[in-house]
Amino acid sequence: MGNILLFSVIVGLIMALLLVPVTFTKKKEGKANPSVVGMIAATMIITVIGAFIFYYMTNLDRNFTSMWILFIIAAGAGAAFAAGKERMIKGAIFLIGLGVGAYFLTAFVFNADEKYQSAKMDVKTEIQAFDENETPASVPPQFARNKMKKAFGQVPNTSYYELGSLQIQKVDGEYVYIAPVEFSGFFKWIKGDETPGYFTLSATDSSANPKFMKEEMTYTPSSFFNKNIERHIRMQYPKYIFNGDPQLEIDDEGKPFYIRTYGDFISARNGFEAEGIVVVDPQNGATKSYKLSETPDFIDGAVSPETVSLQNSYFGNYVQGFWNSVFGKSEVKLPSDEGTEANVSPIFTEDGEMYYFTDFTSPKEGVDSMLGYSLTNSRTGEATFYTGNLEESYMDSQGALQIIQKKFIEKKWDGEMPVLYNFFGEASWLTPVLDANGFLQNYFIVSAANPEISAYADTPNQAIKKYKTALQKGGGTVDGSSKAEEKQAAGTVVRVYKEKVGDYTAVSFLLDNGKNYLVSSELSPLAIYLKEKDKVSVTFMDTGESFLPVKELKIEGLE
């Protein structure tokens, strides 16, 4: 409290000196005017109280640049009230203030190049193929939130609380959703004083049930006065520039911590670039600041999703400066707003690293062609932009959601949280499908380059297996993306089934070794001549599936 009071006093003194005409000594109607000292004191007291209330309520950073508008107004009013040299001095201060204000107000025009450089990404073609034996973290947030609400009876004194913000995290090797229990109002906070804990729910298993973890927390987003987590952080770090809401992070022992991303303006109180995080123990209020490079291992979301969303905007809009983003829009790429957290979607790689996913689309209306997508490391802020196969036109996330709407138009189901994966060498949208009540119905996968190729099933892994078959039947070349071993086999064909799919033929056949194989005529054109009793040799991926994907087929007598 001492810091904010001292800051308010300094602000009050500056405002009083600017407003009160210190050289005003003329008399009026034979009586002396109020003393200059008294006027300064009265103005200062009023201003100090106003500044204290303003900064305490808003949690704004306590840098003098945050008061630039009021300083300009005070200098202008002071110049009008003053006379002589004092008017000239305050007039000069007012003009300087106007110049500074103009710089602040127009900074977004002139620092566009700096913003772009701060958000510049490495450029690659395609992400690494997804291991089909892994399970993507694909339980949609809305569904997870609904399940947690239905389990709210586990919370003691339920009427005092409500469910807080939901976010995903890796805890003790498992991908889970975390949601704190928050106060439902001011009077409930007075009665409760502490929140009782938080919920966890698997982010990979849609059949799992939420678990309530008892961990009392005093400093929370829903607490008031000095127990409010944002105000508590501001009191400890009055000059820090923060971006994004405080987020709950859980260590591997289940202990909760609140974190918030801090950084600096690009220039003139405009733009933002992340530098580190502040970590708060919500039980006792202990705080510690870390640079991004020093972030504790258990923290996944060191860079807030709001910050990543800003970076995506800088990278997509300012590739050729500010004016091009408004008029010509050459090379401009608009980040999607289909993400689950501040327009971005958290996903995990096979090695457990969390990234924020965003796809970019054209600024032209009515165009659903994707111009690329980005993955931003949630701990370091380092990002990579993937162009995709430039010889193909990829559908964006909005296009994938529209396909789902049309697919289930009678049931009125919608997709949520579309994320682009590399399944079997094919850029593909994986999207959970929910009904009107927010309950999960299935997982839908559609090719970004060939929207007519799609599949859906009750679980992500079942959908991936069906999608592989759909790709093979659709004439696509299926690259092995799992750790399945490449093997060879030879034998006599026992049964053959051929199905025309688009421009190609999907050929399924059974060998006398008792195993089934699947190959497309796009990969092996001579497969259309395959018949029973043919002797063949095959190279295939031993994925353990009912129909093993063939990489190479040789038919005796047709070589």
Residue 549 φ/ψ, nearest 5 degrees: -70, 125
SS3 (DSSP) at 328: coil
523-535 exposure pattern, b = at least 16 Cβ within 10 A, e = fewer: bbeebeebeeebe
Strands of 337-415, DSSP E: 345-348, 354-361, 369-377, 383-386, 394-395, 414-415
Specify whether the CB–CB gap between 169 and 301 falls below 8 A.
Answer: yes
The predicted structure's pLDDT at residue 367 = 75
Q: Is residue 281 within 8 Å of residue 257, measured between CB atoms?
A: yes
At 83 the three-state DSSP class reads coil
196 neighbors 206 (Cβ within 8 angstroms): no
Residue 443 has phi, psi (to 5 degrees) of: -120, 130
What SS3 class is residue 319?
A: coil
Q: In which residue ranges of the chain is pLDDT below 50?
A: 25-32, 480-481
What is the CA 478 to chain-centroid distance, rounded? 31
- Cβ of 556: how many Cβ atoms within 10 Å? 11
Q: What are φ and ψ of residue 231, in 5° steps?
A: -65, -40
Cα separation, 114 vs 325, in Å, equals 14
Answer for the pair 468, 478: CB distance below 8 angstroms, yes or no: yes
pTM for this prediction:
0.86
Name the burial class of residue 399, with classes exposed (0-12), middle (13-18) and buried (19+) by CB atoms within 10 angstroms of its CB.
buried
Please list the residues that pair with 487 across neighbouring strands. Answer: 540
CB 527 within 8 A of CB 533: no
What DSSP element (H or E) covers 37? helix 36-58
Ramachandran angles phi, psi of 46, nearest 5°: -65, -45
Q: Give the integer Cα–Cα distance in Å for 517 and 120.
A: 46
Burial class (CB in 10 A: 0-12, 13-18, 19+), 57: exposed
Is there a contact between 378 and 303 (Cβ–Cβ < 8 Å)? yes
Q: In terms of C-beta density within 10 A (0-12 exposed, 13-18 middle, 19 or more buried), how is residue 254 classed?
A: middle
Helix (H) or strand (E) holding 53: helix 36-58
155 and 161 in contact (C-beta within 8 Å)? yes
Q: How far apart are CA 388 and CA 428, in angstroms?
A: 11
